[in-house]
Homo-oligomer: A and B are copies of this chain.
Amino acid sequence: MATIDDVAKAAGVSTSTVSYVLSGKRPISAPTRARVERAIEKLGYRPHAGARALASSRTNVIALMAPLRVGVSVPVIMQFVAGVVTRARDFDHDVLLLTQDDVSGLDRVTSGSMVDALVMMDIEADDPRVPLVAAAKQPTVLIGLPQDPEGLSCVDLDFEAAGRLAVRHLVKAGHTDVALIGSPPEVLRRHTSYAERLMRGLRDQAKSSGVRVKVEACDSTPSGASEAVDTLLATAPETTGIIVHNEGALPHVLARLAERGAVVGTDMSVVAVCPTDVALSQRIPMTSIDLPAEDIGKVAVDMVMTRLEGEQPSETRLLAPVLTERESSAYGPAAVHG
């Protein structure tokens, strides 16, 4: 491999000049720049990442810690990841992938100066990783909201607003008895904050709109979904509007409703909280509140880069929810009869 010295020799300049051509940190005359660039081209020169990291204490790599196995809906994760990776490239950074359970990886990549910054997904209310990265010298952005962000930046969909929005939509359509089919019990047990935030918004809005609301946890399996639907229909038979916040269970919820003879879009309005493409790939196009996973990933990178260049203060950004009406929701009984 050619080194910067080779390039300098070939171009008839000093190594520092080559370095400044590359980094643009000092003015270089046009002819010199041209000669250097030609030499780089000819030799196929690439700076050695390690050497660069050593000299500049910048790696141009960010770490992304993602839940690679557990229940959390896989397509959603992929979209986050895709957003992070593509946006990172826009900033000329690469992405080192860490798994959620590899907690020691945090120390490894931060203390070892392997990365310039971190992005962590799927944050729990009392996440043990938060204090670790808060102590690191690298800036970190959390996707999700911990109880105590400890000066870290956070970004997420505003699930509380999403809960309110979903209920308002159903109320406006005349429904008076609504329900949530939500996350799996283990997610709730971990106090993953998005689940709780959605419920809070839901309940607030239901209260102020004067409608009844029933909440069911739901495993992301066919049987889990069936069970949730069955108990819902048994314990709150007057329900005509359902909010589903569980991508994995969604198809099975719809299937079970069909089996039970409820026609979604007519007898029963269903609003999903999920990425748009998931909403569109169901048996009928779902009215949904978009979970803009890829955007969130991108915003996370934007935030991390901002903190990397200036000593910006930390911030929390909650993206406003957007509801798109499709074929799974319709006017409910009160509106019909009223």
- Using a CB–CB cutoff of 8 Å, the interface residues on chain A facing chain B are 1, 44, 46-54, 59, 61, 64, 68-69, 74-75, 77-78, 81-82, 85-86, 89, 94-99, 102, 105, 107-109, 111-114, 221-222, 248, 251-252, 255, 281-283
Contact = CB atoms under 8 A, between A and B. Distances in A.
B50 A54 contact: yes
B85 A97 contact: yes
A61 B96 contact: yes
A258 to B, nearest CB: 9
A14 to B, nearest CB: 21
Contacts of A89: 99, 102, 105
Given A74-B74, A81-B97, A82-B68, A112 B46 contact: yes
Given A68-B78, A94-B97, A252-B283, 17 more contacts: A1-B111, A46-B112, A49-B59, A49-B112, A50-B113, A61-B114, A68-B82, A69-B82, A74-B78, A81-B97, A85-B99, A89-B102, A94-B98, A94-B108, A96-B96, A248-B281, A255-B255
Contacts of A283: 222, 252, 255
**From A69, A114, A255, residue with most partner B Cβ within 10 Å:** A114
Nearest to A92: B108
Contact of A49 (B44, B50, B281): B50
A255 B252 CA distance: 11
B48 A54 contact: yes
Contacts of A97: 64, 81, 85, 94-97
Contact of A74 (B50, B61, B75, B107): B75
A80 to B, nearest CB: 10
A102 B52 CA distance: 22
A75 B282 CA distance: 17
Contacts of A105: 89, 94
A222 B95 contact: no
A99 B114 contact: no
A54 B54 CA distance: 8
A307 to B, nearest CB: 20
16 contacts: A44-B111, A48-B112, A49-B113, A50-B51, A50-B53, A61-B114, A68-B78, A68-B81, A68-B82, A81-B97, A85-B97, A89-B102, A95-B97, A221-B281, A222-B283, A255-B255
